[in-house]
Structure 1
Amino acid sequence: MSFRYQQLASELQQQIEQGQYACGERLPGVRELAKRRALSVSTVVAGYRQLEAEGYLQANSRSGYVVKARYQPPPLSSAPLQHAAAPSAVSSQHMALTLSKAAADPAYMRLGAAVPAAEYLPQHALQKALQQVIKAQPARLMCYEASRGATELRREIARRMALHGAVVSPQDVIITNGCQEALMLSLKAVTRPGDVVVIESPAFYGLLQALEAAGLKALALPTDAQNGIDPDALEQALTQWPVKACVLIANYSNPLGSLMPDQHKKRIAALLAEHGIALIEDDTYGDLGFNGQRPASCLALAPKQDIFYCSTFSKTLSPDLRLGWVIAPKHTAKLEYLKFISNISTAALPQLAVAKLLQSGRFERHLRQVRPLYQAAVQRISSSIGRLFPAGTRVSQPQGGFVLWVELPQGVDGYLLAQQALAEKISIAPGAIFSPTPLSGSARYSNFIRLNCAVAQDARLERALQTLAQLCLRQLTP
């Protein structure tokens, strides 16, 4: 005869194994479940503790008990990827256009572009803020905004950055059409066509597109899956090549999800300063760390160095707002001019609406709510990969953000897999496009893919992952 807590544990275990509770999902609170099942609190606690001991649950001080991953695939190697680094022209980034088209088509399971689904975004708060602006300041929306951006938003961004250790003046904040424009303006400010720019390897393909458009050469350096770019490799590269700029995603890089230690950030900033080279910091994912503590930016740790700080609200509020910003106190006037001749200014309506959200505190509340959702989504897809994909598959272990970098077994072509997946109405990002020369005979990351985890966690996702696993197995079958 079993005790009541054992019966409860057995029922919950069955529900977890049947998928009624997904990996990373929070179970009902102890008091809530006790009331629902007419059990004592101590009985529920005992049942949860049994499941925790058996590896089904994990106790979280803030979220109660959550379902634990039981099929975790092996992680990527922690050692930096070893390859000879030499500057190369960036080519064939038009491949990413297919991803963009699929990301906008609801008929596709959108695992390719790193675009969060609507349920991860503060839809109602944003809608209310937009309506308030339209009602309160209609005349403001009938003319061009200043090239630097709306004063209200620049002031709120500066205030928020100061809370995280980067003291900047609102006058130095330049509002852009997303982080992509912030990167483009920064590169134009310090480089000319043909110049060499240090980047991470693998590198975010949006950056590669910017380099290709500007006619710049990429020097891709080894990148550790946990700690980011290798400072020793950077030091060697600076003595070997005529580098003009360095672009890094130090906080939760895309696609690896790595978090660079503060001492590495300081050393890299110092190395670049010694050689008179600008650091362009992409901090798109800095607000989306899983442990709740926002990591310091390079700008905060080295405020006197020549740093262009770029970020965006695309991953936290809405991609369609097209709101980003760049801060580089030594280059403010030049950035403002480049922004002006590029597209005059960014639309006032989204700027004023986001300023309201920041001022009200709703943005911070949203971040507190969405971080565990992103973490749970990453854990669930990682667990599904471990359960479904062929032996030899390895995945990244991101510490923030919402993308997974997946290493498939040798013999699986990631680009071919992406083409086959499109035929099944599934969008994924092939690893090759995270390399400066994706179509070359020696293209790196040919057996890698990147997956966007910020999608609806439902049966459609499970079917898509099953299909991808089957397509991989088909490539491996003689």
Structure 2
Amino acid sequence: MTVSATASSDGFLYDRVSQHLLELVAAGTLKPGDRAPSLRGLSRQLNVSISTVSQAYNRLQDMGVLRVKPQSGYYVDGSIAATSAQAVQRRTSVSRQPRKVRFGELFEEIFSVANDPSVVPFGAAVPAVELMPVKGMVRATQRALTRRPEQAVNYCFPPGDVELRREIARRYVPLGVAVDPDNVIITSGCSEALALSLQTVTRRGDIVAVESPTY
């Protein structure tokens, strides 16, 4: 998040920073007694100078929203902070109160059955766990994370990781099929793979045979 400009028709920059803190109190993110972000931390977060944050905190202190504890930092004060937060909330047109998300009875029944381990999921072609080489997959995953740990937190853009595409192409060699890794595309799941395949080989109105009861 960035707060820009030192001054404008909307007021000084430190006014915007103090307004940001008031909105955090109004949303309940900061409650009475909570410690406010440090001067240095908030300056980095909002991309403003420490002196600007200090001015904003001094203003909030004058308003009674923040109080200082020596050698500890700034803390949200009680009743005055709540009053100031209510004033901010009244100026906000969007409700900040969360609403409970409700599903229909059919969805709730489906989710309940899907989480039942005794039920076989015929809705998708999912192999039984005991048929999968889980231990080998875990070891392979650990080796991959040791060799390339950055891949655990990065997105891989199309057409996919080149080493994975080469390995998939090699797996076709025993079948007598020559596959160019450049013709292999890694998708974001089976649904995307099916959609891309159908878009490639079919046209609107074509008849497509699928397995049943899976899809």
TM-score, reference length from structure 2 = 0.42
Relative contact order, higher structure (CA 8 A, sep 6+): 1
Structure having the higher Rg = 2
Q: Which has the higher strand share?
A: 1
TM-score, reference length from structure 1 = 0.20
